[in-house]
Amino acid sequence: MKHKLRIALVVMVIIIIIITGILFEELSTMDWSHDYDYDNGFQRKMEEAMGYTKDLDPSLKNMNELKFHLLSKNNNIDKFLSRSKQNTTVMYDTSVERLFKLLESIPEFRFSRKKLRNGNFEDMVLRLSKYSRTQSPFLYDQNLDIGSNNYRQFHQHIRYSVLYDTEDPVIDGLIHDMSSDTITSVEMMEEGTELKLFMKMKKGTEAVFKPMRWGREHETLPNHYYFNDYERHNSEIAAFHLDRILGFYRVPPVTGRLVNMTSEIFRLAGKTLRRTFYVSPIGNLCFFGVCKYYCDSRHSFCGNVDMIEGSLMVWLPDDLEAERRRWKSPYRRSYSKFRKAEWEENEDYCINLLDETSVYKYPRYILDLVDTHIFDFITGNMDRHHSEIFEAAGNDSFLIHMDNGRGFGKANVDEYSIITPLRQCCLIRKSTFIKLAKLYIGPERLSNLLDMSTRKDPLYPVVIQGHLNAVDRRVLHILTLVAECVKGSNSVDDVIIEDGY
């Protein structure tokens, strides 16, 4: 009996040794740098999208070298810079061509294709926006001294029609301050679906920081509703540049910034925010903060070691003279998986907006609304649910283009529902139409102008080529829609409105 037990034990030992050997052989051949699958694969997918790495070269002392190194890891900058800048969009449509021919035959409209082509786009925009930039009333009493730094001067120069004059040197000074000044205070802004940080700086500037969640090439998931999409820091940056190029001047100044999470966030943060910091399994510093929805360890912001990109948008004044009123947009989406908004089911919806008794019936609102949706269509932003105006300006106030983080998410999808106000109301401001016509005629392309403008940003490249192609394509779609409206109207003047803005 004892002999049989010894034989059984020996056999078991041999089997264990064989199995152990096989396991060690399998383990030794596995690629451990990629095959971790913790947290249901979410963090792994996020790390792949963000390009996390631990191999930060300690010899990189110069900030420009450091920035290039991090961007090359996170955003495949080599791929961006090596890609052809050739734009594949053909700016031609027969209905647009017929519209231009019609406009040239109307002397009172003063439309000349040749003059537009020979002119400079930037000069034309400055000319068209001259009244708004230089003659519309100031929000603040100019005899009132509210401060001499760039931040306070920006506030002082806000007008009823625009947030700033693009030729005002204060604006570029403010952008430089936001991108380089010492951060002295960090607070969480718990309102909103995603984390935002309120930052104060040494020179007195106050701004809202949105950290980077995705790389430039990350597309909105096809099965995600618009209200489940995540915000993108580069969309905030690109939206500011686009708004400035188009001469709207309704987006508060924004800049990109590379932030040290240890010295510029963690050490300045309160206890609640600091408790959400941790080190990821591959050695990168992460945090998630507190907010309404996407603030937990599954939705963390992780740096490259402890460096992270983000957008900084200047904080608008909040004193009595600059008090803002928040209006629900008449073209707000339902934010439901099961029902549509009224405007999505009623093609006569805009008729009610234009009624004399409508709360939206004042001289510039509908044209401002169409401008806003044209702007959102170009960026691909479906999340425009409210508008803000300055209370003191009353019916003369423009619509502030706030919260542009959900743009530039689908390079190959043009969401036509965004420009429903243009299609249903068949109204467009003449200055906006002329700008779009110039971008159609050329030689300037909106894609080239946007790329050149964002080259000034510390986080360039801001927009990848696919999205640059998309902005040109969407300009063409807008003009095609205008052509359809004119074709179905009694007069060009019923569609293209000259209102002085």
Q: What is the C-alpha separation between 408 and 231, in angstroms, rounded?
A: 10
d(CA 417, CA 446): 22
With 0-12 / 13-18 / 19 or more C-beta atoms within 10 angstroms meaning exposed / middle / buried, residue 74 is buried
CA proximity to 307, closest of 370, 342, 258: 258
Q: Which two tokens stand for residue 486?
A: 């004119």
CA-CA distance, 30 to 456, in Å (whole number)? 44
Tokens in use for 352?
């009610």
CB 192 within 8 Å of CB 381: no
Bridge partners for 200 per DSSP: 185, 206
Cβ proximity of 206 and 315 under 8 Å: yes
Q: Is 346 helix (H, G, I), strand (E, B) or coil?
A: coil
Q: How far apart are CA 173 and CA 257, in angstroms?
A: 15
User: In the beta sheet, which residues pair with residue 207?
Assistant: 199, 314
State the greatest distance between any 2 C-alpha atoms of the chain, in Å, as a whole number.
116
Residue 312: name the closest of 452, 381, 212, 454 by CA. Answer: 212
Q: Which of 103, 106, 132 is nearest to 116 (CA)?
A: 103
Q: What share of the chain is helix, strand, coil (3-state, %, to 5)?
A: 45, 10, 45
Contacts of 386 (CB under 8 A, 6+ apart): 326, 327, 328, 329, 332
The active-site residue, picked from 383, 403, 451, 472, is: 383
d(CA 490, CA 484): 12
Can 383 be counted among the known catalytic residues? Answer: yes
Q: Is 409 exposed, middle or buried (0-12, 13-18, 19+ CB in 10 A)?
A: buried
Bond prior to 461 in cis (omega within 30° of 0): yes
Residues catalogued as catalytic: 383
